Structure 1
Amino acid sequence: MTTAVLMIEDDERLASMVREYLGQSGFAIVHAPDGKTGLELLQRGLGQQLPELVILDLMLPDMDGLDVCRQIRATQGPIARVPILMLTAKGDPMDRVIGLEIGADDYLPKPFEPRELLARVRAILRRQQAGTLAASDSDVLRFGSLEIDRSARTVSVAGRPAELTSYQFDLLVALAERAGRVLTRDQIMEAVRGRELEAFDRSIDVHMGRIRAAIEADVKNPRRILTVRGVGYVFAKQQD
C-alpha cells in the first residue's frame, strides 16, 4: 500500500528525483510546481483522500512557502493537521525558526541527501502513527480547563480549540503523560520517537513556544509548561 505525499516544489529535477527515490519505499509523490497549485490539490484531495504529508519548499515562483504553510494551518478541518516538512535554504536558521513557529513539523536544509529525506519523512509518519496507536489506551487527559483528546488528536482550553501541528500535539502529550516529571530535551525527543537533536537545537524550544501560545493564558508567565533552566521542561500537575 502506497503512502500519498504532496510535494510543493518548483525544481522539476529535484521533484523527479524525490518521486523516484521515495517511490522505491512505497510513497506516491504528487508534485505541485507552485504554491497555488499545491493548495488547490490539498483542498481537492489526492485521489479523494488527503496526503499523509506535505513536503514544502520555501522558495516558490508565485508565493512564499511560509505563506503556503500559514494558509494550510489556517484551514478548517483535517487539512490543517497534515504534517509539513519544510525545505529551507542551507545556512539560514531564521527561515527554520519562522517555519516552525508558523506550523511546520520539521525542516530539511538544501541540498540534502535522499536518504535523509526518507528518514525525516518516516520519522514524521512514525510519530503520527504512534500518537494514533496510543489513543487506544486512554482517550482524554484533563488538567483543569485543558483537555487533550488523544483519540481525536485535538486540544481545547475552556472548550475552545487550540491549534497545534501534529508534532506539537505529540510533544504536548509526551509532557502531559509525564506531568510533574522534569524532562530533558533528549528525553522529550525520545518520547515522541523523533529525530535526534542536531546543531539547530532551538527547534524544540520554538515548538514549546508555539504550544504555550496555544494553551497558556499568559505566555510570559506560563503555568502549564514550565522551563527548568539548564535542564528542560516540566508539565505542571496543578493548574487553573
Structure 2
Amino acid sequence: MDKKIIESLSQTQAGIALFDENERIVFANPAWEQLISGVAEEDLIFNETELSDGGMISICLVKPLALPAERPDNAQPDGKEAAGTVIIADDSESNRMVARRILQTEGYSVIEACNGQAVLNILKRGITVDMILMDVEMPDMDGLHTTRRIRHMAGPVSHIPIIALSAHQTRDWNIIARQSGVDEFINKPIQRQKLIETMRQLITRYVDTDPAFNAPETSGKRSKSTRIGRPPRPETLTWPVLDVDILEQLYSDAGDVGARCGIEIFINETENRLVKIDRALSENDMATVRKEVHALKSTSGTFGLRQLSELCETTQSAFEDSEPDESRLLSLSRQVVLLAPAALTALNLYHRSRSISSISNG
C-alpha cells in the first residue's frame, strides 16, 4: 500500500482498521482507536468489508444525535463551535448514557470511560478535554484515586476541572472528594439542571483564575491551542514514514529470509516497547520513557522508519537539555506513541506485499 494512502488514513476523522484473515488487527488509525475506546458501542455505526485475501477492513462513525423537536433554550445555536469536550467516567453504562444525552443536547462532545485507568489513558494520549465527570466508586481504579493521579500529572492537564459524582449523600464524602482534588461534588441520581448549573459555575470560576484564559491576544479571543489539555503543536518531521531504499538495502544485505525474520522480530519488540512507554507515561515514569525512546530511535532507523526515528531523536534531545521542558517532553513522548502504530503498519504492509510478490515470482 502506498505510504501516502497510509498517511491519509492516519489523518482521517473516520475510524478505519484493517484485520488479517485471522481477525488480528494490522492497522488502526488514531480515530478508530479513540472511537472504540471512548464512545459507547450503541452510538457507533460499523461498516465491515471482507477483502479477497480473507482479511477485513472496518470503518466506524459516530451516529448522528437525534435532538428533540424543540431545542432547549440554553442549547448551542446551529453553526456554533461545540461547547467543549467532557469525559464521563462511570462503570455503569446506563449512568453514562444518561449523562451523555444531557451533555450532547447542551452542545458538548463526550468521551466515555468505564474506570479511572481509562481516563488516564485518554489524557496521556493528548486528547483535548475541558472537564471530567468522575464517578467516585469504580472498579480497578476509583474516581478519587484517579483524581489524585491527574492532579500530579505535568502540564495543563493537571488543572482540568473535575466534578465528582456519588450516591453517597453525606458531608464526609463531599469533604473527602474535595481533599482528593475534585472541584465540585454532585449527588446521584444526576439532575439535569443541577449538573448544567454546576458545570457553568465551574467553567466561569476556571476562566477567572486561569492565566491562559486571561492572557491578551490580538484577536481578543482565547486561542484553541490554549484549551485545557491541548498538547503543544506536533513537531515538524522532514522524513517520510517509510524509507523504501533502506528496506531494499536490508533485503539485499541480509537476504529475503533474514530481512523478513528481522522485521517480524522488530515489530514484536516495538509493540512491547510501546506498551512500556504508554504505561510509563500514565505512571509519570519518565526515566523508563527515556530509555525506551532511546532504544526505539536506533532500531526504527535500521528498518526504514525514518520519521519515527527522527521523532525519537528529537525526544531524546529534549531529555538531554540542561533544563528539560516537561510539557514538551510529555508532548513528544505522546507523539511517539501515536506515530509508531502507523509506522509499524506501513512496514508490515510493505513486508507482506514483498513476501506475496516473492511467492508469485517464485
Q: Normalising by the residue count of structure 1, what TM-score does the alignment of the two structures yield?
A: 0.52
**Is residue 148 of structure 2 the alignment partner of residue 67 of structure 1?**
no
Q: Which position in structure 2 is the counterpart of 1:28? A: 109
**Shift of residue 131, structure 1, vs aligned partner:** 3.1
**Shift of residue 43, structure 1, vs aligned partner:** 1.2
Structure 2: segments with no counterpart, 5+ residues: 1-80, 217-362
Q: How does 1:196-235 map to 2 (within 5 A)?
A: none
**Take 2:148 and 2:181, find their aligned partners in 1: how far apart are those partners?**
7
**Shift of residue 129, structure 1, vs aligned partner:** 2.1
- Going from structure 1 to structure 2, the CA distance change for 1:136 and 1:41 (only over 3 Å counts) comes to closer
- Going from structure 1 to structure 2, the CA distance change for 1:44 and 1:92 (only over 3 Å counts) comes to same
Q: 1:110 aligns with which of 176, 182, 188?
A: 188
**Is residue 8 of structure 2 the alignment partner of residue 8 of structure 1?**
no
**Is residue 163 of structure 2 the alignment partner of residue 85 of structure 1?**
yes
CA contact (8 A) 1:88 1:96 kept: no
1:152-179, CA deviations, whole angstroms, 9 ceiling, x for partnerless residues? xxxxxxxxxxxxxxxxxxxxxxxxxxxx
**Shift of residue 14, structure 1, vs aligned partner:** 1.4
> Secondary structure, in 3 states, of the residue corresponding to 1:62?
coil
Q: How does 1:89-104 map to 2 (within 5 A)?
A: 89-104=167-182
**Aligned pairs, number:** 135
Percent identity, please. 27
Higher helix share: 2
**Shift of residue 132, structure 1, vs aligned partner:** 4.6
**Take 1:135 and 1:52, find their aligned partners in 2: how far apart are those partners?**
16
**Take 2:195 and 2:187, find their aligned partners in 1: how far apart are those partners?**
10
Higher alpha-carbon Rg: 2
**Is residue 130 of structure 2 the alignment partner of residue 52 of structure 1?**
yes
Q: Which position in structure 2 is the counterpart of 1:222? A: none
**Take 1:88 and 1:100, find their aligned partners in 2: how far apart are those partners?**
13
**Shift of residue 136, structure 1, vs aligned partner:** 4.8
Q: 2:98 aligns with which of 17, 23, 28?
A: 17
**Take 1:92 and 1:58, find their aligned partners in 2: how far apart are those partners?**
13
**Shift of residue 45, structure 1, vs aligned partner:** 2.9
**Take 2:111 and 2:141, find their aligned partners in 1: how far apart are those partners?**
19
> Secondary structure, in 3 states, of the residue corresponding to 1:55?
strand
Q: Which position in structure 2 is the counterpart of 1:121? A: 199
**Take 1:30 and 1:136, find their aligned partners in 2: how far apart are those partners?**
29
Higher strand share: 1
Structure 1: segments with no counterpart, 5+ residues: 138-240
**Take 1:55 and 1:91, find their aligned partners in 2: how far apart are those partners?**
17
How large is the RMSD of aligned CA atoms in angstroms?
2.0
> Secondary structure, in 3 states, of the residue corresponding to 1:112?
coil
**Take 1:40 and 1:7, find their aligned partners in 2: how far apart are those partners?**
14
2:180 aligned partner, one-letter code = I
Q: Normalising by the residue count of structure 2, what TM-score does the alignment of the two structures yield?
A: 0.35
Structure 1 consecutive aligned stretches of length 4 or more whose deviation exceeds 6 Å: none
1:29-71, CA deviations, whole angstroms, 9 ceiling, x for partnerless residues? 100011111110011133xx2x111110001011221110110
**Take 2:161 and 2:152, find their aligned partners in 1: how far apart are those partners?**
13
**Shift of residue 79, structure 1, vs aligned partner:** 1.2
1:177-223, CA deviations, whole angstroms, 9 ceiling, x for partnerless residues? xxxxxxxxxxxxxxxxxxxxxxxxxxxxxxxxxxxxxxxxxxxxxxx
> Secondary structure, in 3 states, of the residue corresponding to 1:56?
strand
